[in-house]
Amino acid sequence: MLSPYLLLLLVPAPPLAVFLILGLDPFFLRRKAVQALALLGGIAPFFAMLPLLGLCLGTECYGVMPIFTLVFGQSEVALALLLDPMSTLVGLTVAAVGALVITYAIDYMSDARIADLRRFFALMNLFLAAMLTMVLAGDTITFFFGWELMGLCSFFLIAYNTSLPQAVAAGRKAFIITRFADAFLLAGLLLLFLEANSVRLDVLIPAGTMMTEERHVVIALLLLAGALGKSAQVPFHTWLPSAMAGPTPVSALLHSATMVAAGAFMLARFSPIVMSEPAVQTIAAIFGAGTAAFGALSAIFQTDVKRLLAYSSISQIGFMVLAIGLGAPEVAIAHFVVHAMFKSLLFLAAGDITHGSDLGTSLQAMRGALRRRPISFLAYVAGAASLAGLPIVTAGWWSKEAILATAWEGGAFGIAIWVLALLTATCTAIYAFRPVFEALQPEPAHISHARRGHPVALDLHYRPRWGSGFITLPLVLLAAGSLLGGIIVGPIIRFLGAEAPHPAHLPELVAAVAPFVGMAGAAAITFVPALAAAVAGARDMRRPTRLDRKFQRWVIEPYVRLVRFLAGNRIGARAEAELELRHVQIVRWLSRGARMDGIYQALFVRPFVNIVRWLNGHRGGTVDPVGTFPVSLALQGTQALVERLAHDRFDRFWMRLANRLVRLWVLVCAIQTGRSRDYALGAALGTAALLVIAWGTTWN
């Protein structure tokens, strides 16, 4: 009998197959065929997940689908897909959001060249398949496979517009930073493997909780570092705002259900290991809460709606990491599900509103949205309400409330975190509604002219008020989910095997007021020009309006008086000017993500480039000091030897001998005078000598 878990294989298989078909393009597909295939690959996983959900709700929610088993010497490595409550729930969310984003992209990308279209949808499908593989993975190898494949896809997708240098640079940045963090994760997973002698998650995680203290801390920290990198948490967050250079559907998928959320999912998956080590858990909570606050503050000061949403993702995933740090991975997963809905909705709606605008994706491009794209605008409002967490009526409130309640129950440390999280939630409402109020402002003149068919601006991108079904359907469905999804937050937490936290009434009431305070703040910084300018990081140069004067009188002056009072009236006019300057600096600092880019530039990039330059020489030639060392050593050695041997000692001996001989010859030459009497004398002396010798020999 076929195992029902075979269906697990059918979840990532369709998008993978579509990737292969679109990537290899054996049939020379036409535009319509490419779109149809992409849609098929995007939607199929959702329908494969549904029966699995039924299985999970009906009978036992646990099943393994083995793929194959490797034998490594003594250890076995069993690759498998795993069905359990967490993978079912997250898999379903990912499949649903992925399907809707790809549906949306059919219309959004309809202007692209056919080759680009094929590449885009091939990669989107691969991206989706990778995330689904990772979510359903039953072992660390499959898990890491999906994890890394997502990184690769994000590189290609962010750099989709390949002729745009900043898009390519953003893709590289994303890939390099996440790969750096992945090295930590890989180290952690390999150490776990060595510890447990298995890669099966259901064997490895229990084994991981029973290690020696030292190992345990190291592994938990390595896993945490990997998650922080993938999820763009401080200090790895810089790649995410830059990654906005990619097309909007890419951002929507990257931020909501895949890639960025993968880090939080990984932590939830390995939460038994992280949670059994209190020190690591505290670190995770601090990083999560800190990132949430930082992201929310930075988001307020963004002037580009996509960058604003990027910081919002950083902040919201900070909330998930915080929940895991507080020991409630189930709550984190609930927030994951809700966040996936409203964040993809926000991206899709904002993308649709600003599509083709000559203002790019800046906040001004949102203006006049209600008239131009009413459905998208309303969808955006629904998403913003959910993001801000308006009480009762939005899903965001329920999941965020669960996190806050968990913090409230966590003792003194927990209450400190709760206060920080509450302030963050207020800031969240500010940045969530800032684009909404911005959109209510009158639109820039040239765009409204274009809409009325003004001859001057006819060539500007003009779109009908009502979008096609490919745009509308995802927006409506996601908006419904973002608002009504609150009903399922409690069941989700129970489904994952935990009790939903019951907050006390007082903190709940306070938390319910926070979003409205934030909304008021958003309205103030949009409609009060002085404040808008302050938020934009510039001094107010315009003449104050009536609203400005009221604001000055009722808010600023009391505030300044309060500060004066607290400081004992010691602040002079000069100090005030300095204070304002400092304020501008802080705003700029926040709007650029704490200038972490500059720090990285100084800390890593520049030294790296300098080392490479030093090794290579500045003008592209190769210096390669280490490689040339033995060569130059050999050359110099040979040279020294040759020079010495050039004065050949044997040669010198023979030459000296020859010289002596020559000298002897000169001496001998003196005898040769040419006069016959000398020769006669010589002959006589010789004969005499011979006679003497002959006489001598007769002696004895």
Partner 1 sequence: MGYDMELTALILLPFFGGIAALFAGRWGRDAERWVAIAALGLALLILISSFFSDGDGRWIAIERYDWAPSLGLQVILAMDGLSGALLVVSLALGIVSVIVSWKITEYSGLLNAALLWTVAASNGVFLSFDLLVFAFFWELMLVPSFLLISVWGHGDREAAALKFLVFNAVAGLGLLAAVFYLGATGETVTFDAFEVAERQIPHGVQVLLLLGFAAAFLVKLPVPPLHAWLPDAHTQAPTAGSILLAGLLLKTGAYGLFRFPPMLFPEGFATLAPFGLALGAFGSIYGALLACGQTDAKRLVAYTSVAHMSIVLMGICGGVYFSLMGAGVEMVAHAFSASALFLLIGALYDRTGTRDLRELGGLQQNAPRFAAAFAVFFSAALAMPGTANFLGEALVITGMFQVNWIFASITLISLVISVVYATRLFKRVVFGKSRRTEALEDLTLREMGPIVLLAVATLLFGMLPQLLMGALEGAVEAALVPVTVP
Using CB under 8 A, list all residues that contact partner 1.
Answer: 23, 68, 70-73, 115, 119, 141, 144-145, 148-149, 152, 155-156, 159, 162-163, 165, 168, 171-172, 175-176, 179-180, 183, 186-187, 190-191, 193-194, 608, 611-613, 615-616, 620, 622, 624, 626-631
Beta carbon nearer to partner 1, 191 or 378: 191
Closest approach, Cβ 330 to partner 1, in A, equals 29
Calpha distance 375→361 (Å, rounded):
18
Beta carbon nearer to partner 1, 41 or 229: 229
Q: Could you count the other beta carbons within 10 Å of the beta carbon of residue 555? A: 14
**Relative orientation angle of helices 248-256 and 140-158, to the nearest 10 degrees:** 150
Closest approach, Cβ 606 to partner 1, in A, equals 14
Beta carbon nearer to partner 1, 68 or 565: 68
Cis peptide before 235 (omega within 30 of 0): yes
Strand, coil or helix: what is 254? helix
Smallest Cα–Cα separation from 339: which of 418, 260, 286, 392?
A: 260
Closest approach, Cβ 226 to partner 1, in A, equals 12
3-state DSSP helix/strand/coil % of the chain, to nearest 5: 75, 5, 20
Beta carbon nearer to partner 1, 179 or 454: 179
210 alpha carbon, distance to own chain's centre: 32
Q: What is the 3-state secondary structure (H, E, C) of 469-484?
A: HHHHHHHHHHHHHHHH
> What does the CA dihedral 80, 85, 86, 92 come to, rounded to 10 degrees?
90
Calpha distance 700→691 (Å, rounded):
16
Contact call for residues 110 and 94 (beta carbons, < 8 A): no
Closest approach, Cβ 219 to partner 1, in A, equals 11
Contact call for residues 381 and 436 (beta carbons, < 8 A): yes
- Indicate the DSSP class of residue 304: B
Beta carbon nearer to partner 1, 147 or 265: 147
Closest approach, Cβ 454 to partner 1, in A, equals 35
Smallest Cα–Cα separation from 270: which of 215, 340, 329?
A: 329
Calpha distance 541→251 (Å, rounded):
36
Calpha distance 315→321 (Å, rounded):
10
Beta carbon nearer to partner 1, 56 or 130: 130
The amino acid sitting at 223 is L
Tokens 């020379």 map to which residue?
Answer: 28
Smallest Cα–Cα separation from 290: which of 268, 313, 325, 318?
A: 318
Q: Could you count the other beta carbons within 10 Å of the beta carbon of residue 61? A: 19
Closest approach, Cβ 176 to partner 1, in A, equals 5
Closest approach, Cβ 276 to partner 1, in A, equals 21
Beta carbon nearer to partner 1, 152 or 375: 152
Beta carbon nearer to partner 1, 610 or 673: 610
Closest approach, Cβ 159 to partner 1, in A, equals 6
Closest approach, Cβ 382 to partner 1, in A, equals 38
Beta carbon nearer to partner 1, 259 or 402: 259
Beta carbon nearer to partner 1, 179 or 371: 179
Contact call for residues 436 and 388 (beta carbons, < 8 A): no
Closest approach, Cβ 108 to partner 1, in A, equals 20
Beta carbon nearer to partner 1, 182 or 304: 182
Contact call for residues 229 and 180 (beta carbons, < 8 A): yes
Closest approach, Cβ 336 to partner 1, in A, equals 24
How far, in Å, are 41, 142, 543 from residue 129 at the CA level? Answer: 9, 12, 55
Beta carbon nearer to partner 1, 154 or 344: 154
Calpha distance 90→337 (Å, rounded):
7
Closest approach, Cβ 125 to partner 1, in A, equals 15
Beta carbon nearer to partner 1, 153 or 425: 153
Closest approach, Cβ 620 to partner 1, in A, equals 4
Contact call for residues 78 and 139 (beta carbons, < 8 A): yes
Give me Rg for the CA atoms of the chain: 39
Calpha distance 700→696 (Å, rounded):
9
